[in-house]
Amino acid sequence: MGMGIAHTDESSIEPGEIHDILRNDRRRQVIEQLRSQYEPLELRELSERIAAAESGESPAPRNVRESVYNSLHQTHLPKLDEREIIDYDKDRKTVELLEGASDVEVYMEVINRYGMTWATFYRTLGVMSLLVVVASDAGVPLVADVPALAWGSAFLGLFAVSACYQLWSRRWFYLRQLLA
């Protein structure tokens, strides 16, 4: 088993290969599920999580769980293992991320629970804060009642809380990087 994700200065996987890997929803789901925890995951648990996400039911219908299990075992996990993104132990039926996952991570834009990417969220928050601070400075009624410095501080606080939440939600991924 791999000891976690190590940072590499140069990607060992070609961008074309990365796009081939990420083109499939189930392979993306495998990486996403494994990023959210520190310990290796059993194939059965992984397939149940992905089946539940695909079907929208928890637990997912048996035929969906079996389909996901078989496609992961026969196709997707061997492909990810071959490219050293995961370590798939076929005997133990366990899966964990390897350092190759950091090569793929760059191409996976994380979408928050509201359906937008974090980049879009931060961009929107930045534009809103700029508009509110300028409106406060310009004397726009109601907005000008609060000093621009207070508005700026409030928005900086929102940025900080958002960043902490994002880091916390991906803590196992970052912890693996630190410990590698």
Domain ranges of the chain: 15-105, 118-179
Q: What is the pLDDT of residue 134?
A: 96
Residue 23 has pLDDT above 90, yes or no: no
* DSSP structure string for the chain: --------SS-SS-HHHHHHHHTSHHHHHHHHHHHT-SS-EEHHHHHHHHHHHHHS-SSPPHHHHHHHHHHIIIIIHHHHHHTTSEEEETTTTEEEE-THHHHHHTT-PPB-TTSSBHHHHHHHHHHHHHHHHHHHHHT-TTTTTS-HHHHHHHHHHHHHHHHHHHHHHTHHHHHHHHH-
Q: What is the pLDDT of residue 180?
A: 61
State the chain's mean pLDDT as an integer. Answer: 84
Residues 6+ apart with CB under 8 A from 162: 121, 122, 125
Mean predicted confidence (pLDDT) in 81-100: 89
Rounded-to-integer distance, Cα 179 and Cα 65, Å: 33
**Residue 176 confidence class, pLDDT cut points 50, 70, 90:** low
Of 5-9, 75-79, 102-106, least confident by mean pLDDT is 5-9
Residue 13 has pLDDT above 60, yes or no: yes
Q: Which residues pair with 97 in a beta bridge?
A: 86
Of 6-10, 37-41, 63-67, least confident by mean pLDDT is 6-10
Are 118 and 110 a contacting pair, CB within 8 Å? yes
Rounded-to-integer distance, Cα 43 and Cα 64, Å: 15
Residue 110 has pLDDT above 80, yes or no: no
The predicted model scores a pTM of 0.59
